[in-house]
Amino acid sequence: MARRARSAVAWGVATGVALSLSACAGWGGGGIGGGGPNSINVLMVNNPQMVDLQRLTADNFTKETGITVNYTVLPENDVRDKISQEFTSQAGQYDVASLSNFEIPIYAKAGWIAPMDDFIAKDPEFDQEDILGPMTTSLSSEGKIYGQPFYGESSFLMYRKDILKAKGVTMPDRPTWPQVAEIAAKIDQAEPGMAGICLRGQPGWGQVFAPLTTVVNTYGGTWFEKDWTPKVNAPEFTEAVKFYVDLVRSHGERGAPQAGFTECLNNLTQGNAAMWYDATSAAGSLEADGSPVKGKLGYVAAPVLKTKSSGWLYAWSWSIQDASTKKDNAWKFISWASGKKYEQLVGEQLGWSKVPAGKRASTYENAEYLKVAGAFAGPTKEAIETADPENPGVQPRPAIGIQFVDIPEFPNLGTQVSQDVSAAIAGQTSVGDALDKGQQLAEDVAKRYQAKGK
């Protein structure tokens, strides 16, 4: 009967599909994808510089060395979770991961990542000396290097030269925060809808507290003293946060409590703000072709008060997992990705504004790069070179870090306190209350470290 025949065919097709899929699944031990034995697995965040890297790998790195690179690319929150799971359990699923100078000292102490000094010694072409000093320091632990930066950033103040000129205001060479607040007041609403300054307000230890901690540092405050006494509601910390919150509320952008990096970037590009204190990497987007504010911005060092410099330090870097069985190949990849030749490759094929900068001194001597990035290259390099991750403030610190405290509890602590600070920016709570709560949370964290006698 036709129905019988049809159902027989259906069963046949179904069985065939099932069998061939099983074959696919059996291939290569459990799935399609992945590469041969001469391959490495890399887990990284999906920032544009990494996406460019992914695109250029097959035709360059793989062709030269024969090593296939299998990438897993995820958004920042997801990738941080996967990285922490992978490295704490030493699962060996990935050989290289994009860690930052926050994770690397912690993972190094825990023995989850491999030291690189031997590889560096055998690879003179990599030229470790060319890597900017503060970068190397922040990626080392107990004298050994555990990570190589892919691209790095500090922070500085960006301002609309034309707006300041129109209002007859000059920007000092080394501004202080009170001076910046004055300037913001004078240029506020210079054009309709243009805020005097854009500052981050979004909750998150890496959002509002990145710039805010640097302000705290230069006002003489700190999260913890050397003996781990928390100082979150101390007078200096309080003064700094009050200053920041008042500045944002009086001359800052609309929607400040939710404004993060992307929002402020949009604000500056569209002319909704005249100044912006944030990452040096923002300049690349602001000066890109097609940006409405290209050529109109001036760049000056991060405002200070009681310290010589106050820019932060952050680098997306590569580390090799200690459980990896392919460390040699992993190093070859890192040497290529963070090497001088790769920067040249990106400059020639994708454009000089896309070069992953902020890590090598040689980048800032490259004439072609400077042609495109001349406006901000100098201030960027200076900001990174003057950053001091071991001594960012006026008092000694118990842990490394400028805009963070390099302990595993900090993301949780910083994010929780930042939520109250955001609320203060929104006017829903007072700075004093927010910091009192923060002090309690910091005391819980401090207990563990004081008990250890660290």
Partner 1 sequence: MATASATGSNGAAMRKAGDWARRAPLLPALIFVIAMTQLPFVATVVISFMNWNAYYPDERGFAGFDNYVSTFTDTNARSAVIVTIVLTTSVVLLSLLLGLGIALLLDRKFRGRSAVRTMMITPFLIVPVAAALLWKHALYNPEYGLFNGILTWIFGEGAPQPDWISDNPLLAIIVAIVWQWTPFMMLILLAGLQSRPLDVIEAARIDGASTWQIFTHMTLPHLRQYIELAGLLGAIYVVQNFDHVFTITSGGLGTANLPYYIYQTFYTAQDYGRASAAGVVVVIGTIIIATAALRTAFSLFKEESR
Partner 2 sequence: MSTTTRPQAPGSSATPGDRLAGRTFTHQKPPRSHMLLTVLAWVVGLLFVLPVLWMVLTSFHSETDAATNPPSVFAPLSLEGYQTFFEANPWPPLLNSLTAAVLSTTLVLVLAFPAAYALSIRPVKAWTDVLFFFLSTKMLPVVAGILPLYLFAQKAHLLDNIWWLIVLYTSMNLPIAIWMLRSFLAEVPVEMLEAAQVDGAGLARTLKDVIAPVVMPGIASAALICFIFSWNELLLARVLTSTVAATAPVFLTGFVTSQGLFLAKVCAASLVVSLPVLVAGFAAQDKLVQGLSMGAVK
What, of partner 2, partner 1, none, does residue 106 touch, CB below 5 to 8 Å by kind? partner 1
Would you say 84 or 450 has its CB closer to partner 1? 84
Cα 190 to chain centroid distance, Å, stands at 32
Cα 230 to chain centroid distance, Å, stands at 25
3-state secondary structure of 389: coil
Contact 69, 62 (CB under 8 A): yes
Binding partner 1 (rule: CB under 8 A), the pick from 235, 255, 292, 351 is: 255
Contact 189, 242 (CB under 8 A): no
Binding partner 1 (rule: CB under 8 A), the pick from 42, 44, 96, 106 is: 106
What, of partner 2, partner 1, none, does residue 9 touch, CB below 5 to 8 Å by kind? none
What, of partner 1, partner 2, none, does residue 354 touch, CB below 5 to 8 Å by kind? none
For the bound state, the minimum distance from the C-beta of residue 415 to partner 1, rounded and expressed in Å, comes to 8
For the bound state, the minimum distance from the C-beta of residue 288 to partner 2, rounded and expressed in Å, comes to 11
> Closest Cα partner for 37 from 60, 77, 67?
67
What, of partner 1, partner 2, none, does residue 361 touch, CB below 5 to 8 Å by kind? none
Would you say 280 or 418 has its CB closer to partner 1? 418
Give me the 143-172 binding string for partner 1, x by CB under 8 A, dash otherwise.
------------------------------
Give me the 199-228 binding string for partner 1, x by CB under 8 A, dash otherwise.
----x-------------------------
What, of partner 1, partner 2, none, does residue 84 touch, CB below 5 to 8 Å by kind? partner 1
Within 10 Å of residue 16's Cβ, how many Cβ atoms? 10
Contact 79, 45 (CB under 8 A): yes
In the DSSP assignment, the letter for residue 111 is T
Query: Which residues here bind partner 2, judged by CB under 8 A?
Result: 17-18, 21-22, 24-25, 28-35, 41, 43, 46-48, 51, 55, 70-76, 78, 82, 85-86, 89, 91, 93-94, 261-262
Binding partner 1 (rule: CB under 8 A), the pick from 258, 285, 307, 395 is: 258
Encode burial over 379-407: b for 16+ CB neighbours within 10 A, e otherwise: bbbbbbbbbbbeebbeeebbbbbbbbbbb
What, of partner 1, partner 2, none, does residue 41 touch, CB below 5 to 8 Å by kind? partner 2
For the bound state, the minimum distance from the C-beta of residue 15 to partner 1, rounded and expressed in Å, comes to 20
Cα 57 to chain centroid distance, Å, stands at 22
Report 316-375 residues binding partner 1 (CB under 8 A): none
For the bound state, the minimum distance from the C-beta of residue 61 to partner 2, rounded and expressed in Å, comes to 16
By CB under 8 A, tell whether 110 contacts partner 1: yes
- Helices vs strands, H then E, count in the chain: 18, 10
Would you say 84 or 439 has its CB closer to partner 1? 84
> Closest Cα partner for 311 from 221, 411, 410, 393?
393
Helix, strand, coil proportions of the chain in percent (round to 5)? 50, 15, 35
By CB under 8 A, tell whether 428 contacts partner 1: no
Report 50-89 residues binding partner 1 (CB under 8 A): 77, 81, 84-85, 88-89
Q: 385-391: which pairs have CB atoms within 8 A and are 24 or more residues apart?
A: 385/132, 385/133, 385/134, 386/301, 386/308, 386/309, 386/311, 387/134, 387/154, 387/309, 387/311, 387/312, 387/313, 388/134, 388/309, 389/101, 389/134, 389/137, 389/138, 389/313, 390/137
Contact 197, 238 (CB under 8 A): no
Binding residues for partner 1, per CB under 8 A? 77, 81, 84-85, 88-89, 106, 110, 203, 255, 257-258, 266, 408, 411-412, 419
